[in-house]
Amino acid sequence: MGRFRPNPRFAEQQRRDPRFRRGLAEAVEPARRNADAMARAAHAPWMPKPGSGTTDVVETVTTATGVRLTIRHYDGHLVEFGSKNNPPYAPLRRGVRAAGLRLDETPK
């Protein structure tokens, strides 16, 4: 009779599997589209990154261990969190919620 041996590295191995990351990227695409539309509604980008052209404001970045939504320009932190003179437009946080996903912040 077989015996079940738990794999303590299962979650880490899953995260590193390219198929898993591709699936994650597909799953976050609605959130990315929402966030991009919300950023543009706030007239972002305010400080465009040179060479970015007219591509999306919010992009999906696949890393070795997961997938991130990122505002690609220099003003990302201002657009998202605001400042002394700017309200927080929060396109990333609102975009995630509008896609029906649970929001937890883990900024980098």
Partner 1 sequence: MPLRLTVDIEKVLSDFLRTHPDLTGLQTRFVGKTPDSTGTSWVRVTRIDGNQTDPADHLTSFLVQLDCYAGKTGGQPEANTVARHVRAAIVALAGSALDGAVIGATRIVGDLRAPDNEFGTPPRDRVILTVEIWAHA
Interface with partner 1 (CB under 8 A): 77, 81-88, 90, 93-94, 97, 103-105, 107
- Is the separation of the CB atoms in 80 and 93 below 8 Å? yes
Per DSSP, the three-state class of 12 is helix
CA distance 45 to 50: 11
In the complex, the smallest distance separating the C-beta of residue 60 from partner 1, rounded to whole angstroms, is 20
> Residue 32 carries which side chain, given as an amino acid letter?
R
Least distance to partner 1, CB of residue 56, Å: 21
Whole-number Å distance between alpha carbons of 80 and 93: 8
Which of 27, 103 has the CB closer to partner 1? 103
* Comparison of 22 and 77: residue with beta carbon closer to partner 1: 77
Q: How far is the CB of 35 from partner 1 (least distance, A)?
A: 12
CB of 61 to partner 1, least distance (A): 19
Residues contacting 81, CB < 8 A, separation 6+: 88, 90
